[in-house]
């Protein structure tokens, strides 16, 4: 114990000399009346711009990928479940169901597509995910909706270095969490990551693991940058699954918190107690600090726990009033998406954007349809009209069969207190026999649409400001705009799927019919029917002839 303590101190010293910095944070927000949002953030800051020949706290396996493929910024999320924006408000970082990967490559990279393919294949090995299914036919280059969150050299063309792909069918399970945990300096032995017990975190309504790498300014001058590697886990617990509204670490994670990771410079737990005024609950033990934050017209109260020892602790929240009617106040911007149509020929995708705020909101909507679901710009209707003043700018890139997806981006100006309905038609395409997946009758997934919004208010907004990397940065961080990239729900269509056993059935049936028909036909054609009175004797010549006939047969 003593030895390991000294070792830890030594390690911490060594790391502080090198300047690598590791922080861990948990953000807990009750989503009344029935859910609880838990968000883990593990932030590693790497000093300088050197390559990853040596690394201290940062995962070398990831760092090598970044430097080898010259990636400036990387975002990877693996998500199971759908975040319900209307009910739960906004998450810190939104993620599309399934796997989602986007990256900005360095401007020195000439052939981005080749690097992109290599990057996705390599990451598929690192995270045990099928990211190697990312090909040119499901990759797009968003023009307006995604912007690098890291510090960038000015006046460069970032857009052409960006690639985006999502795999809505991707499953997320323990095998993805295991390699993810191995990237952390304490792995899953110490600190907050030891709470990530796969049996508990997969027992949630929504879980999303992510890795986000970007460059951060060291100071306001921004002549030097650090590499920030942020690993996140977002969980939404259902009170029905944990059987009560009162929650505790033991109930959520199956164990108490064994203290901070010895390598971290700060380990903090933030509990959003804003809902305490309506849904009164009591936290034990008492928080170290209560933070009040005013940001963009909304007030947030945060209870902060500073963890700096390795004593087992268990944070418990006990609700005082159990039954209360709950009024759900929708967030400023909400949206839904669904598929229209019947039959196997045509269909349509509808995206409804609702602005609940009293001021207009500008959004960029990105529709990304696979090649087997062609969407035509000519069929785009905004509130039923082909021409609309709401569209400020648009970009459309038609797909090509088996090569390129359909990509539509619209910059929309949503009027206050209104719902805008966008409809676009698609037609179904016949796939080749080999292109159908083994479970073709299950249906085909369409990825989420991206909605990049410039929110004028911070209501329900929990994301960090772009300059911050820890949760303290949201305190009083009022800005003119609160940008956020949302993902709508995905959709599913059933393509015209052939009966795969049909060829076999046809062969069997046809053979039977042919066999049945051939026998009598052959008999009729080859045999001569001779009428013979019974009892007539056969001549000797006839007898000999009959013998020959039999032999021939």
467 binds other proteins (CB under 8 A): yes
Is there binding between residue 551 and other proteins (CB under 8 A)?
no
Q: Is residue 439 at the binding interface for other proteins, with CB under 8 A as the rule? A: yes
First-residue to last-residue Cα distance in the chain: 98
Of 507 and 538, which has the nearer Cβ to other proteins? Answer: 507
Identify whether the C-beta of residue 349 lies closer than 8 Å to the C-beta of residue 446. Answer: yes
Nearer to other proteins, 128 or 291 (CB): 128
Q: How far is the CB of 454 from other proteins (least distance, A)?
A: 4
Q: How many Cβ atoms are within 10 Å of 496's Cβ, its own excluded? A: 12
Residue carrying the six token digits 């929650």? 247
Could you tell me if 304 and 270 are in contact, meaning their C-beta atoms sit under 8 angstroms apart? yes
Residue nearer to other proteins on the CB measure, 21 or 170: 170
Closest CA to 440 of 492, 517, 388: 492
Place of tokens 């911050």: 468
**266: three-class secondary structure by DSSP:** strand
- Is 197 a residue that touches other proteins (CB under 8 A)? yes
Shortest CB 168 distance to other proteins, Å: 13
Measured between alpha carbons, how far is 477 from 26 in angstroms, rounded to an integer?
19
Select from 314, 413, 415, 497 the one that contacts other proteins (CB under 8 A): 413
Q: Which of 420, 452, 457, 460 binds other proteins (CB under 8 A)?
A: 452
**Interface with other proteins (CB under 8 A), residue from 15, 68, 70, 147:** 147
Residue that is written with structure tokens 């990636």 in the block: 71
Give whole-number Cα distances, 105 to 66, 82, 421, 453, in Å: 9, 29, 35, 24
Q: Nearer to other proteins by C-beta: 297 or 437?
A: 437
Q: Nearer to other proteins by C-beta: 98 or 210?
A: 98
How far apart CA 474 and CA 500 sit, in angstroms, is: 56
The span from the CA of 335 to the CA of 304, in Å, is: 33
Three-state SS at 299: strand
With CB under 8 A as the contact rule, which of the stretches 5-13, 128-136, 256-264, 421-429 interacts with other proteins? 128-136
Q: Does 95 bind other proteins (CB under 8 A)?
A: no
> Which lies closer to other proteins via its Cβ, residue 179 or residue 341?
179
The angle subtended at Cα 351 by Cα 350 and Cα 354, nearest 5°, is 135
Integer Cα distance of 304 and 267 in angstroms: 10
Site string for other proteins, 388-407 (x = CB under 8 A): ----xx--------------
Give the binding range for other proteins (CB under 8 A) out of 18-26, 117-125, 528-536, 541-549: 117-125
The count of residues interacting with other proteins (CB under 8 A) is 66
* The one among 163, 212, 215, 230 contacting other proteins by CB under 8 A: 215
> Is residue 422 within 8 Å of 350, Cβ to Cβ?
yes
Binding of other proteins by 418 (CB under 8 A): no
**Are the beta carbons of 317 and 281 closer than 8 angstroms?**
yes
CB of 399 to other proteins, least distance (A): 21
Residue from the set 3, 111, 154, 432 that interacts with other proteins by CB under 8 A:
154
- Residue with structure tokens 């390699």? 179
Rounded CA gap, 119 and 124, in Å?
Answer: 9
* Binding of other proteins by 202 (CB under 8 A): yes
Residues interacting with other proteins, by CB under 8 A? 51, 53, 80, 117-118, 121-122, 124-126, 128, 130, 132-133, 144, 147-154, 158, 169-175, 178-179, 197-199, 201-203, 215, 217, 221-225, 360, 362, 364, 392-393, 411, 413, 436-439, 452-454, 466-467, 481, 483, 485, 500
């Amino acid at each position: 114990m003593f030895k390991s303590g000294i070792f830890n101190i030594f390690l911490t010293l060594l790391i502080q000399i090198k300047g690598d910095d590791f922080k861990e944070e948990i953000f807990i927000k009750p989503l009344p009346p029935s859910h609880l949002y838990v968000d883990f953030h593990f932030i590693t800051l790497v000093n300088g711009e050197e390559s990853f020949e040596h690394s201290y706290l940062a995962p070398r396996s990831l760092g090598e990928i970044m430097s080898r493929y010259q990636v400036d910024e990387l975002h990877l999320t693996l998500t199971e479940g759908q975040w319900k924006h209307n009910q739960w408000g906004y998450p810190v970082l939104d993620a599309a169901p399934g796997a989602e990967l986007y990256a900005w490559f360095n401007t020195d990279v000439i052939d981005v597509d080749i690097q992109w393919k290599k990057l996705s294949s390599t990451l598929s090995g690192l995270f045990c995910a099928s990211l190697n299914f990312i090909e040119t036919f499901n990759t797009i280059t968003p023009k307006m909706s995604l912007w690098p969150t890291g510090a960038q050299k000015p006046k460069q063309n970032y857009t052409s270095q960006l690639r985006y792909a999502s795999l809505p069918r991707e499953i997320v399970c323990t095998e993805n969490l295991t390699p993810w945990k191995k990237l952390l300096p304490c792995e899953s032995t110490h600190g907050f990551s030891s709470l990530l017990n796969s049996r508990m975190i997969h027992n949630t309504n929504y879980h999303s693991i992510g890795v986000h790498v970007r460059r951060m300014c060291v100071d306001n001058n921004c002549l030097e940058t650090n590499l920030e590697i942020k690993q996140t886990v977002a969980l939404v617990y259902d009170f029905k699954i944990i059987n009560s509204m009162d929650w505790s670490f033991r109930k959520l994670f199956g164990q108490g918190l064994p203290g901070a990771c010895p390598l971290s410079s700060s380990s903090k737990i933030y509990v959003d107690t804003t809902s305490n005024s309506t849904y009164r609950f009591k936290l034990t033990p008492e928080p170290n600090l209560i933070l009040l934050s005013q940001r963009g017209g909304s007030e947030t109260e945060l209870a902060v726990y500073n963890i700096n020892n390795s004593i087992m602790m268990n944070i418990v929240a006990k609700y005082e009033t159990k039954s209360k009617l709950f009024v759900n106040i929708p967030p400023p911007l909400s949206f839904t998406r669904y598929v229209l149509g019947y039959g196997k020929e045509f269909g349509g995708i509808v995206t409804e954007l609702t602005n609940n705020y009293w001021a207009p909101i500008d959004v960029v909507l990105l529709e990304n349809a696979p090649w087997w679901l062609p969407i035509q710009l000519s069929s785009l209707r905004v509130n039923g009209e082909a021409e609309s003043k709401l569209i400020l700018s648009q970009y459309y890139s038609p797909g090509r069969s088996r090569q390129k997806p359909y990509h539509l981006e619209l910059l929309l100006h949503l009027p206050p207190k209104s719902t805008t309905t966008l409809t676009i038609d698609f037609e179904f395409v016949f796939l080749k026999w080999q292109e159908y997946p083994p479970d073709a009758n299950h249906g085909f997934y369409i990825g989420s649409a991206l909605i990049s919004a410039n929110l004028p208010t911070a209501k329900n907004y929990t994301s960090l400001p772009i300059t911050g990397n820890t949760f303290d940065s949201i305190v009083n961080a009022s800005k003119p705009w609160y940008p956020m990239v949302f993902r709508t729900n995905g959709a599913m269509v059933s393509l015209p799927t052939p009966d795969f056993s049909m060829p076999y059935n046809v062969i069997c049936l046809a053979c039977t019919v042919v066999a049945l028909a051939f026998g009598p036909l052959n008999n009729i054609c080859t045999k001569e029917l001779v009428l013979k009175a019974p009892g007539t004797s056969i001549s000797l010549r006839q007898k000999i002839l009959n013998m020959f006939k039999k032999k021939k047969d």
